[in-house]
């Protein structure tokens, strides 16, 4: 006999009897071999409830339209089999993607997603072609390979912790798209592009929680793209913002004393005036014995070894730059 699995689905219908309040509804689904969550939703829609709303198109993990929350994680419904999911969680809890405004049931408003894409100019602005045309090597392609695989499903934005607290944050998907062009050797607008995304709500607001990379169904690794964008932005001298200043202060602190000198880092990140606003916080830390002395901050032993790592990395960088020409 085929197993029957209960689906607990988060519903929302602004025109329905429940008004603006989301509510939960349960449906029983007879499991077929290898059945996906999308197939179950289609079955429910056909047999039990034609009002259930969700997006889908290709059913093959290509179009990116069926991303939803499945047991608390952003996933493609067409690419998620029920059996292993049920075995792992002991239930099937389905809902719309987090961090988006819900229009109806699992249909969310993608307008902010597309606006963020627009912010990064998602197309190549070619620089002057060299004599004899472009020669694109395998290595050149590899650099941007992952970011080209994005299917715009929006799962990463749904899982992003920075986006949860700041709707304006550029987000992982648009950042990965930005890297697609910044990392392209033919790109002519690299600096302008990097400048745009280095501003407030840009790449420096990522807290490196890795959630985007974990949920991406296409291994785009948006967080790695953000790290590369930050590196390129610094290489272009775009460091007049708190995020870049903080990163540089951290590098400087470890080089100077072998560890994080938080007091000096705060000062370097925020500047003198804004650091004054941190005094109450500093006093609280002082009361709990957690405030490092701002002047007498001793370096660790074997600092030479730490500095040796810096020197080795600098040599590595020089070689990389030479290779790039
Ligand atoms: S790593 Fe950054 S971009 Fe990715 S989910 Fe976390 S905060 Fe968002
Ligand atoms: S980066 Fe991955 S998760 Fe994000 S939109 Fe693209 S394919 Fe989807
Ligand atoms: S229906 Fe196209 S990705 Fe799922």
Shared domain check, 53 and 13: yes
CB atoms inside a 10 Å sphere around CB 100: 20
Q: Are strands 4-11 and 102-104 parallel, antiparallel or unpaired?
A: unpaired
Query: Is ligand 3 within 6 A of the CB of residue 136?
Result: no
What's the rounded Cα separation, in Å, for the pair 212 and 156?
4
pLDDT (0 to 100) of residue 325: 62
Domain count, the chain: 3
Query: Is ligand 2 within 6 A of the CB of residue 160?
Result: no
Distance 229 CA to ligand 2 centre (A): 17
Single residue among 108, 136, 154 that ends a domain in this structure: 108
For residue 209, give the ligand 1 atom closest to its CA.
Answer: 6
Distance 54 CA to ligand 3 centre (A): 11
What's the rounded Cα separation, in Å, for the pair 317 and 144?
19
Shared domain check, 231 and 163: yes
Residue 154: which region, alpha, beta or left (left: phi > 0; alpha: psi -120 to 50)? Answer: left
For residue 172, give the ligand 1 atom closest to its CA.
Answer: 3
What's the rounded Cα separation, in Å, for the pair 251 and 297?
16
Shared domain check, 275 and 253: yes
pLDDT (0 to 100) of residue 320: 82
For residue 78, give the ligand 3 atom closest to its CA.
Answer: 4
User: Nearest residue CA, atom 2 of ligand 1?
Assistant: 206
Shared domain check, 172 and 72: no
Residue with tokens 């291994």, as numbered in its chain? 219
Query: Is ligand 2 within 6 A of the CB of residue 229?
Result: no
Query: Is ligand 3 within 6 A of the CB of residue 59?
Result: yes
What's the rounded Cα separation, in Å, for the pair 207 and 227?
11
Shared domain check, 300 and 253: yes
What is the mean pLDDT of each successive set of 10 residues along the chain, which is 325 residues long? 92 82 95 96 97 97 98 98 96 98 97 96 94 93 95 98 96 98 96 94 97 98 97 94 93 91 85 85 83 74 93 90 73
Rounded to 5°, angle at Cα 311 from 308 and 315: 140
The parent domain of residue 27 ranges over 4-108
Shared domain check, 226 and 135: yes
Shared domain check, 288 and 274: yes
pLDDT (0 to 100) of residue 276: 85
Distance 304 CA to ligand 1 centre (A): 34
In a mutational test of the pocket of ligand 1, which residue from 150, 156, 175, 209 has the highest number of ligand atoms less than 8 Å from its CB? Answer: 209
> Which run of H or of E encompasses 22?
none
Nearest Cα residue to 229 out of 171, 179, 169: 179
CATH code, domain carrying 170: 1.10.1060.10
pLDDT (0 to 100) of residue 275: 84
Shared domain check, 212 and 272: no
Single residue among 235, 264, 287 that ends a domain in this structure: 235
* Residue 213 CB partners (closer than 8 Å, separation 6+): 156, 220, 221, 222, 223, 224
CATH code, domain carrying 21: 3.10.20.30
pLDDT (0 to 100) of residue 212: 98
Question: What is the number of the ligand closest to the CA of 63?
Answer: 3
Shared domain check, 314 and 302: yes
* Residue 306 CB partners (closer than 8 Å, separation 6+): 254, 255, 258, 300
User: Across-strand partners of 11?
Assistant: 23
pLDDT (0 to 100) of residue 291: 74
Single residue among 108, 136, 158 that ends a domain in this structure: 108
**Residue 191 structure tokens:** 């600096």
For residue 149, give the ligand 2 atom closest to its CA.
Answer: 7
Question: What is the number of the ligand closest to the CA of 146?
Answer: 2
CB half-sphere exposure, 185, CA atoms < 13 A: 15
For residue 212, give the ligand 2 atom closest to its CA.
Answer: 3
What's the rounded Cα separation, in Å, for the pair 172 and 163?
9
123-148 pLDDT, tens digit each: 999 999 999 999 999 999 999 999 99
């Amino acid at each position: 006999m085929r197993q029957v699995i209960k689906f607990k689905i988060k519903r929302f219908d602004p025109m329905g009897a429940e008004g603006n309040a989301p509510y939960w509804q349960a449906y029983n689904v007879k499991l077929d071999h290898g059945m996906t969550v999308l197939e179950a939703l289609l079955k429910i829609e056909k047999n039990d409830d034609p009002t259930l709303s969700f997006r889908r198109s290709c059913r093959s993990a290509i179009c990116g339209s069926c991303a939803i929350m499945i047991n608390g994680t952003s996933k493609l419904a067409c690419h998620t089999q029920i059996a292993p999911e049920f075995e792992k969680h002991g239930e099937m809890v389905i809902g719309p993607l987090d961090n988006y405004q819900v229009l109806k049931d699992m249909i969310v408003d993608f307008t902010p997603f597309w606006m963020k894409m627009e912010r990064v100019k998602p197309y190549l602005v070619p620089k002057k072609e060299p004599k004899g045309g472009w020669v694109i090597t395998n290595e050149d392609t590899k650099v941007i390979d992952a970011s080209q695989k994005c299917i715009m499903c929006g799962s990463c934005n749904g899982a992003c912790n920075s986006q949860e607290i700041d709707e304006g944050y550029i987000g992982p998907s648009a950042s990965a798209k930005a890297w697609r062009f910044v990392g392209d050797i033919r790109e002519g607008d690299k600096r302008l592009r990097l400048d745009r995304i280095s501003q407030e709500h840009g790449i420096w607001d990522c807290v490196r929680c890795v959630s985007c990379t974990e949920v991406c169904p296409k291994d785009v690794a948006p967080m790695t793209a953000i790290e590369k964008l930050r590196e390129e932005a610094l290489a272009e001298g775009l460091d007049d913002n708190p995020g870049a200043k903080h990163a540089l202060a951290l590098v400087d602190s470890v080089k100077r004393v072998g560890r994080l000198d938080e007091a000096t880092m705060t000062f370097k990140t925020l500047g003198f005036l804004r650091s004054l606003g941190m005094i109450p916080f500093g006093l609280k830390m002082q009361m709990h014995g957690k405030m490092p002395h701002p002047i007498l901050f001793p370096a660790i032993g074997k600092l030479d070894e730490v500095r040796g790592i810096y020197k080795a990395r600098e040599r590595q960088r020089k070689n990389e730059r030479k290779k790039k020409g």
